[in-house]
Amino acid sequence: MGNFAANEGLSVFVIFVWFGINVFLFVHFYLAFLTPKWFYTRVLLGHALSWARAPAACLNFNCMLILLPVCRNLLSLLRGTIQCCSRTAARQLDRNITFHKLVAYMIAFHTAVHIIAHLFNFEFFMNAQLDQNRTLLPFVLSEIGTNDSLPFINPIRNNQTSQTVVLFTTVAGLTGVAITLALILIITSSTEVIRRSYFEVFWFTHHLFIIFFIGLVFHGFQRIVRGQTDVSLRSDPPENCSELFQDWGQNGSQCAVPEFAGNAPVTWMYVVGPMFLYLCERLVRFYRSHQKVVITKVVMHPSRTLELQMRRKGFRMEVGQYVFVQCPGVSRLEWHPFTLTSAPEEDHFSVHVRIVGDWTEGLYKACGGDQPGQQQAWSLPKVAIDGPFGTASEDVFQYQVVMLVGAGIGVTPFASILKSVWYKHVQKNQETFTKKIYFYWLCPDTEAFEWFADLLQSLEKQMNEGDMSDFLSYNIYLTRWKEQEAAHFRVHHEAENDPITGLKQKTLYGKPNWDNEFSCIASKHPKTKVGVFLCGPPQLGKALEKQCLSHSEDDVKFIFNKENF
C-alpha cells in the first residue's frame, strides 16, 4: 500500500479532485436551473434545460484545462521548479499526455450530453409553437415577443420554422455544429492506429482546436436560453402568476407579462488564460524554430535508422530529454518528437530516426539516405529544433539503483543515459549517487540491435578496462526469430562474443521473467529505492507497474517512471 501511494498516490489524488470538481459543477448547475428564475423556461423544456446547462458548465472547466498539458515549455519550467522540492510532484508532469486525453474524453462526454439535451429542447420549443392553443401556457410563452417588444423566450418564432433552419441561422447553432465537427475529427484522428500509421492526419486535424476554441467563445453570445429577469421575478413571481397567464398584462390583472433575458456568456473567462499561455508557448516555439541548427554528421545505421548529429548555439540538455524536429524541405508545418541519444557531455546533440512513415521517409531522402556515397555538407537539409523538454528519465541519477527497460527503438533515451555514465565514470572519474544500473533491451528482430550494438560494445570494453563491470548489468532479449537464424545462433553459441550483438554478454531469447528479475534485484539491494524507467509499449508498462507494486516492501521500493510523448 505504501508503494502504491509512492507511485500512484498523487496521481490518484489529482484525478479524484478533477473528477470531483466535474461532479460538483454538474450537480450545482443542474440544481441552479431548477430555481424559480427558470420556471417558465422549464414549462417549455422540462428537465432537458438542466441536462443541457449542467454539462455546459463542465465543458467550460475542462476546456480551461485541455491546453495546459500540451504547453511543453511551461511544463519544463514547472518541472525544474518543482523538482527541487518534490520529485514525486515533478513526476506527475510526465503524465501530461495521459491527463490531456482524460480531459478530452470528459469534454467528449459532456458534449454528447449537451447536444442530446438540446435536441430535445429544440423539439420542445417546436411543439410549443405547433400546438396553437391559447389556453396552454407553453404557447402563450412562445407568443411573447411576437406582437410586442419584449425579448422572446422561445427562439423558434413561428410554426413554419424548422429546427434545421434555426440551427443554421443562429450563432449558437452554427458554432455548435463547428465545435462538434472539429471535436469529432480531433478525437477520431487521435486513435493509436491513425496516430502511428498516418501521423500527418493526426497532426493536421489536431489543429482544428483553433476552430473549436473560437466557436466555443462565441457559442453563447446570442443568449438563446433565457430565464426570467430579476426585476420581473420580484414583481411577478411565477408561484403567484403562472396560473393567471391568460390575464397577463391586461387591465386589472395582478401580473404583467414576464420579461426574460439570457445569462452573460462566461466561457471566454475560462479559456482566455489558457489560450494566452498557449499563444506564448507557440511564440517561444516560433522563436526557437528560427535559431540556426547545423547538421554536423549524418549516419545511416542498419535497419533503416537515421542518426542526425547537430549543433545549435546555447543548446543545453539533460539525459533522457527530447526535442521536436521540423524539416522545412519535407513539411513546414509538421514537428515530430525524438528522444536525444547524445550525452550532455558531448559537443553535439543527436537523434535517431527510424524510417516508418511519409515524413521520416522524406527526411531520409533529404539527407541522402537513398543515394550512394557521402553527401556534401551544403546539400544537407535545413532543420529546426524545439526543445529540449524534460521527461521522467531526467531523474535517473537520483536513485541508487536503476532499472532501464527499452523496447525496440524505445532504447533511445537510455542511449543518452549510458553515454553519460561512460563520460562520468570512465573519462572524468566522477562519483554519482547511482551505484548500480540494470539495463534491459527487448527487440523483436536482430536488425534492431545493429545501430545500438556499437555503443554497447564500447561501454562493455571501457567498463571492463576501468574495473567497473559491476556498475552496469545489461540483459538483451530477442523476442522473435526465424528458424534459419536459430540454427546460426546454435552454431555460434559457444563463441566468445555473442553472434548477434558482438558483446561478451550473450543475448537471451524470449521475454524476461519480470517476477524473477524484480525478486533478484530486491534481494540484492535491501533498504533502497529502485527507479524503474521504461520507454516502450503500454502493455509492457502495465506489466512493469504491476511488478513495482507487488515487489515493493518496507525496505525496498520500486518507483515506476514511463516516457510519454
512: pLDDT strictly greater than 60: yes
Distance CA 360, CA 340 (A): 16
332: pLDDT strictly greater than 90: no
Regarding whether 333 and 254 lie in a shared domain, the answer is: no
Q: Look at residue 478 and tell me if it is in a domain.
A: yes
Regarding whether 11 and 75 lie in a shared domain, the answer is: yes
Percent of the chain whose pLDDT exceeds 70: 81
Q: Look at residue 544 and tell me if it is in a domain.
A: yes
Regarding whether 27 and 154 lie in a shared domain, the answer is: yes
9: pLDDT strictly greater than 70: no
Q: What is the mean pLDDT of the chain?
A: 81
Regarding whether 357 and 233 lie in a shared domain, the answer is: no
Per DSSP, the residues of 466-514 read TT-TTTEEEEEEE----HHHHHHHHHTTTSSS-TTT--SSPPEES---H
H-run or E-run covering 66: none
How many domains is the chain partitioned into structurally? 3
Q: Look at residue 265 and tell me if it is in a domain.
A: yes
Amino acid at 138: P
Q: Are strands 528-535 and 401-407 parallel, antiparallel or unpaired?
A: parallel
388: pLDDT strictly greater than 50: yes
Lowest mean pLDDT among 32-46, 221-235, 501-515: 501-515
Q: What confidence score (pLDDT) does residue 213 get? A: 93
Distance CA 401, CA 476 (A): 19
H-run or E-run covering 528: strand 528-535
Per-residue pLDDT reduced to its tens digit, 337-373? 888 888 888 888 888 888 877 888 888 888 877 676 6
Q: What is the DSSP letter of 229?
A: -
Regarding whether 361 and 257 lie in a shared domain, the answer is: no
Q: What confidence score (pLDDT) does residue 497 get? A: 56
Regarding whether 310 and 263 lie in a shared domain, the answer is: no
Q: Strand pairing partners for 227?
A: 261
Distance CA 311, CA 296 (A): 7
Regarding whether 432 and 294 lie in a shared domain, the answer is: no
Domain end residue (candidates: 258, 282, 306): 282
Regarding whether 337 and 301 lie in a shared domain, the answer is: yes
335: pLDDT strictly greater than 90: no
H-run or E-run covering 559: strand 556-562
What would the grid cell of residue 228 be?
426570467
Q: What confidence score (pLDDT) does residue 52 get? A: 92
Q: Look at residue 533 and tell me if it is in a domain.
A: yes
Amino acid at 179: I
Percent of the chain whose pLDDT exceeds 90: 17
Regarding whether 142 and 48 lie in a shared domain, the answer is: yes
Dihedral, CA of residue 279, residue 284, residue 287 and residue 290, to nearest 10: -100
Distance CA 139, CA 141 (A): 5
- Greater confidence, 399 or 301? 399
Q: What confidence score (pLDDT) does residue 500 get? A: 53
* Helical H segments across 46-95, by residue range: 48-65, 72-83, 87-92
Q: Look at residue 204 and tell me if it is in a domain.
A: no
What domain range includes position 315?
283-369
Domain end residue (candidates: 241, 257, 282): 282
495: pLDDT strictly greater than 60: no
Residues 6+ apart with CB under 8 A from 461: none
The region that residue 557 occupies, defined by phi over 0 for left and psi between -120 and 50 for alpha, beta otherwise, is: beta
Residue (of 337, 344, 334) closest to 207 by Cα position: 334
Q: What confidence score (pLDDT) does residue 502 get? A: 52
Count of C-beta atoms within a 10 Å radius of residue 184: 14
Q: Strand pairing partners for 306?
A: 300, 353
| Most confidently modeled range among 409-418, 474-483, 533-542 | 533-542
| Most confidently modeled range among 52-66, 165-179, 185-199, 447-461 | 52-66
Amino acid at 7: N
106: pLDDT strictly greater than 90: yes
Regarding whether 43 and 98 lie in a shared domain, the answer is: yes
Regarding whether 405 and 359 lie in a shared domain, the answer is: no
22: pLDDT strictly greater than 90: yes
Residue (of 351, 318, 313) closest to 335 by Cα position: 351
Q: Look at residue 210 and tell me if it is in a domain.
A: no
Q: What is the pTM of this model?
A: 0.76
CATH code of the domain containing 525: 3.40.50.80
Q: Look at residue 198 and tell me if it is in a domain.
A: no
Q: Look at residue 188 and tell me if it is in a domain.
A: no
Task: Work out the pLDDT band at 466, boundaries 50, 70, 90.
Answer: low
465: pLDDT strictly greater than 70: no
Q: Strand pairing partners for 561?
A: 533
Regarding whether 270 and 287 lie in a shared domain, the answer is: no
Amino acid at 86: S
Q: What confidence score (pLDDT) does residue 214 get? A: 92
**Residue range 212-218: mean pLDDT, rounded:** 92
Task: Work out the pLDDT band at 501, boundaries 50, 70, 90.
Answer: low
**Residue range 388-402: mean pLDDT, rounded:** 80
CATH code of the domain containing 311: 2.40.30.10
